[in-house]
Amino acid sequence: MTCTIYGYWRCSTDQQDQERQIRSLKDAGCESIVGDHITGVSDYGDRKALSKLLEEIKDGDLLILDELNRLGRTMVTMLVEVNKLLEKGVKIRTLDGRLDTQNMNEEIVKLIVSVMGYAAEMELKNIKRRTAEGRSVALSRGVKFGAKRKYDKFQIQEILHKRNQGQGYGQIAKAMGMSRSTVSTIVKRELDVPVGTQDSSFTDKLIHDICERSTR
């Protein structure tokens, strides 16, 4: 079976950053390189190149990234994408040296994914806590919230499932019979938590330490 080395880049409109990532991926031996431009106003679910790559990449292939966070802005999103790749039998290597499943045994990889899962859970708990605190403060100030939601938990689960498959907000909205803004609001509230938290920083260091020990 022929295995392919893929490279994936992700950046904003910074042309220099894009060129740097592509050059690094070429130097790493990537045979096929694709990427997405994501800006501050972009729907993060609209990563067409990544979605297509996840469909094409197969068991035994290698995916090389500049950094693991190229797969997602949040620990939750990164965990989802990493799990998709590992379940397909794809090897993952980051050029910052923090992850290389080619040279790790299965137990080490499982440990890293578990650490990422823990961090993702903490992120979700933190955002829910901050949301609850903000709501409590707003209520104490007499703020009245809008009408009752017109969607249920099962619809939320379906929306998150579709997003995890790489579908964009517009595509999900059409399938669910909702407005794009409603889908965006649901996803951002339930899933999109900034990675730059103390928990994810700790996790990033812990993953690095695990990788270091596994190569000794």
Question: 12, 136, 179, 181: which is the annotated catalytic residue?
Answer: 12
Geometric angle at alpha carbon 148, from 129 and 134, rounded to 5°: 25
| 200 given a catalytic annotation | no
- How many residues are listed for the chain in this entry? 216
CB-based contacts of 64: which residues, under 8 Å, 6+ apart? 5, 6, 7, 8, 25, 28, 29, 30, 93, 94, 95
Closest by alpha carbon to 160, among 124, 187, 182? 187
Write out the H or E segment, with its range, that includes residue 7: strand 5-11
Question: Which residues on adjacent β-strands are paired with residue 34?
Answer: 8
CB-based contacts of 182: which residues, under 8 Å, 6+ apart? 151, 173
Q: Residue 64 has which token pair?
A: 């090389």
b/e sequence 168-188, b meaning 16+ C-beta within 10 Å: bbebbbeebebeeebbbebbe
Active site residues: 12
